[in-house]
Amino acid sequence: GENVEQHPSTLSVQEGDSAVIKCTYSDSASNYFPWYKQELGKRPQLIIDIRSNVGEKKDQRIAVTLNKTAKHFSLHITETQPEDSAVYFCAASTHNNDMRFGAGTRLTVKP
């Protein structure tokens, strides 16, 4: 089955700096890669996603890149703000909707 690895497990940046979180996956059939943000005690919220026919997608300060050959994808947050502090999860799934999540990255943005 799919195995998703996520790094780093914790990330601390200064407000205004960029943050990058990286994930790798094992199943070459995976074709959908969402990213979720989870604040303490809250539900995971979908913040951006990318499908395997696209290499990059951007939404304001958030961007995701996908390298199918290397089987890795990354989340980029620019101009970070304290409210970006949360745990971020990457995930991967195939057409069978068998989504598997990474272990999460705890991002702290220091004012």
Partner 1 sequence: NAGVMQNPRHLVRRRGQEARLRCSPMKGHSHVYWYRQLPEEGLKFMVYLQKENIIDESGMPKERFSAEFPKEGPSILRIQQVVRGDSAAYFCASSPPSATDTQYFGPGTRLTVL
In the complex, the residues that contact partner 1 under the rule CB under 8 A are: 1, 6, 32, 34, 36, 42-46, 49, 89, 93, 95-104
Give the H or E element holding residue 67. strand 62-67
Q: How many CA atoms lie within 13 A of 62 on its CB side?
A: 15
Query: Could you tell me which of 62, 80, 76, 87 has the C-alpha nearest to residue 13?
Result: 80
Smallest separation, CB 8 to partner 1 (Å)? 14
Closest approach of partner 1 to the CB of residue 16, in Å: 28
- Least Cβ distance, residue 1 to partner 1 (angstroms): 7
Q: Which is nearer to partner 1, 13 or 101 (CB)?
A: 101
